[in-house]
Structures are given as structure tokens and as C-alpha cells.
Amino acid sequence: MLERPESGDRAIIVQIDFGEAGQDERLAEITLLAQSAGAQVLSCVQARRRAPDPALFIGSGKAEEIASLRNALDADLILFNHELSAGQQRNLEKALHCRVVDRNSLILDIFAQRARSHEGKLQVELAQLEHLATRLVRGWTHLERQKGGIGLRGPGEKQLETDRRLLGVRVKLLKERLKQFEKQRKTRRRARERRDVPTVSLVGYTNAGKSTLFNALTKAGAYAADQLFATLDTTSRRVFLGSGTVVLSDTVGFIRDLPHSLVAAFHATLEETASADLLLHVVDAASEDRESQIDVVNRVLAEIGAADVPQILVMNKIDATDAEPKVERGGCDNIDRVFVSARTGAGLAQLRELLAETLLASKVQEPSDQ
């Protein structure tokens, strides 16, 4: 048996193949997510099904197999690389006799660990509470009883209903506070527009190297690490180019099946992306799943209203491939892709030139459109 770590959960990952492509990439991603959350992954259980079991998601036979494995490995946690309903989660915890966490809850937990700014913490708390509201009954069957006893007699409201009401009050308060941050952000944005400073947002799949590229271009020293969701709080810095100054913003990374509650909670922050003059879509060129990751990012961009913002694909991490720094252009000499390594600096000079070229061209075209 493996020695128990001083901190962190000992986890077993469960992944069911329902016919989707990229199962190996999905398994590697959930493993990295678990490790990013501080868990020690003991084993991975995989199976194929046509559809999820309504009660247990995996079926009773597979549940018994996982329960035996959990006992043998002395695991604390069963982590599903899927979204579970509240009922499925409760049934699984009864069958497996341990905590069960689905993919959405895991991502929310990582966001809670990584949020640094006050606004970021409020956004994550809002997402967690809205997620909790859908499964408040979990583990609280005693709350269905009527209040009673000295000091506990109330107007007849059940404890569960009280919890839901208090949760609703907190959610309303968080939304009001976030609206204040949104107003402040719009004020800063209008000030930049009056100064006619072009804005560029870095977007991309999580761990594609956005923060490393941001630091390389701005010398900002923002936190960057080889882990998922290292950056949650948007950071903006001025970058001086040959043709002038731009404001470059580093944003939260995207991931497949990103919980809608997180997209909603971070919507105000992500509006910075939708209002940018140009998007630098950073891609991990060394990933075998890069085309799928590009599709995921584009879908989230469409969801936040940024689908029509001009973008340049920045194929990062070429130091891990055989690619050379270069620029690929499409029709009408439009910039399609630029190949760089944020870690070594290869291709960054070309990227800066492309930024100046693109933003200068847009400035020149503006008068003719009026």
C-alpha cells in the first residue's frame, strides 16, 4: 500500500467512454486537474457504456468493482471525469462509502484555491454557491425535520428552506458587489478608449503558456506555472511597440466542459476579452490535442460574445517540437499563425512586429470607415 501523504486526498479517477474522441487526452487532463488540486492519483478506472446509468452513472457492477479497489488502495476520494447529478452523487457515496467529486466540483475547487484578488474570490464563491444550490440536500436529510426545541422554534420554516433562503441572500450580495467591479472596469475601459490605446487580450486553453508569454512581452513578472488554471485574475500591462503603445491583458484559461456557473460568474471579467481590439489565441503547439483545444476556446469565445474579435493564433512551446519561428499568412496576406516559444524567446520579435503591423493597419482604416 502507498504511504499516506501528509496532506492531500488519495484519489481514484473514473472515466467512462461514451463514444467521444480523445479519451487518452481527457484522462491525462483530469489527472493533471486532480494533481493541480493537490490530490495523489492512485489509480484510473475506465469503462465503456452507451449511456449513463440514471442512478449510479456507472452501473451497479462497476460500482462494486470501484468499491473493492477503494478498499484495497485506502482511497479517500473517487473523482469522476464527468458531470454528475445530485442524485447520482448521493447514490455513489452510499455505494462506495467515501466522498465522490465530479469534474465541475473539482474545477470549482481549483478556482477557489487559485483566486488571489478580491474580485476573483467573489466570482469563485458565487460559482460555488450557485453549484451548491442544485445539490443542497446532499448529506442533510436531518434538515427535512421541522425545527423544534428551546431556542429553535421558528415560524414553521424547515431548516433546508432556511439554508436555501440564506444562500439566496448571499448570492444576491455577491452579484451586487461584482456589479460594482464591473462598473469600475467599464470606467477604466472608457478612459483607455479616450486615449485611443489599442487593447490586446491573451486567450487560450489552460496551461497553453499565456502567462509565460505575457511576462515575456511585458516583463511583468505575473505568476506562471506548469499547472492548470495558474492564472485566474486578469492582469493588464502596457507594451511599447515601434508604432506606439498597446494594453496587453492576461486572462483565465479555458477548458473543455467548463462549468456554466464559472462562465457566468467570470462573465464581467471576460467582457474585457470581448471588447479587445485583437485576441492572441495562445495554443500549446506540443499538444496532440491542440486542434480540439482550439475548438473549445472558440466555443467559449462565442459564448461570451467575442467570436467576431480579430484573432491571431500563437503556436507556443515550439521549443518542445521541431518547428521553427515563423509567420503563416492566409488569403489577402492576413496573418494566420505565428510560431513562438515564450520560454526561450524564439519568435517573440516577429510577434511584436505583427502586433504593431496589425494594430497600425486598423488605425489607418478607421477614418475611411466613418
CATH of the domain at 348: 3.40.50.300
Residue 123 inside a domain? The answer is no
8-state DSSP, 91: H
Residue 290 inside a domain? The answer is yes
Both 221 and 328 in a single domain? yes
Q: How many domains does the chain contain in total?
A: 2
**Higher pLDDT among residues 32 and 165, named by residue:** 32
Residues 6+ apart with CB under 8 A from 289: 22, 25
How far is the CA of 114 from the CAs of 5, 205, 265, in angstroms?
A: 22, 17, 15
Domain boundary among the residues 86, 101, 116 is at 101
pTM value is 0.76
Phi, psi of 338 (to 5 degrees): -130, 135
- Kindly report, residue by residue over 309-318, the tens digit of the pLDDT: 999 999 999 9
Domain boundary among the residues 67, 101, 135 is at 101
Residues 6+ apart with CB under 8 A from 210: 202, 203, 204, 231, 250, 251, 253, 282
pLDDT at 164 exceeding the cut of 90: no
Q: Say which range, 28-37, 79-88, 173-182, 231-240, has the weakest mean pLDDT.
A: 231-240
CATH of the domain at 28: 3.40.50.11060
pLDDT at 175 exceeding the cut of 70: yes
Cell of 14: 473514473
Domain range for 78? 10-101
Both 240 and 350 in a single domain? yes
Residue 122 inside a domain? The answer is no
Residue 335 inside a domain? The answer is yes
Residue 188 inside a domain? The answer is no
pLDDT at 142: 42
pLDDT at 238 exceeding the cut of 60: yes
Residue 189 inside a domain? The answer is no
Q: In what order do the strands lie in the sheet with 40-48?
A: 40-48, 10-17, 77-80, 99-101
Q: Is residue 251 within 8 Å of 263, Cβ to Cβ?
A: no
Domain boundary among the residues 101, 135, 169 is at 101
pLDDT at 149 exceeding the cut of 60: no
Both 216 and 359 in a single domain? yes
Q: What is the pLDDT averaged over residues 12-18?
A: 96
Q: Outline where DSSP puts E strands in the chain.
A: 10-17, 40-48, 77-80, 99-101, 199-204, 235-241, 244-250, 278-284, 311-316, 326-329, 335-339
Residue 19 inside a domain? The answer is yes
Residue 40 inside a domain? The answer is yes
Both 219 and 350 in a single domain? yes
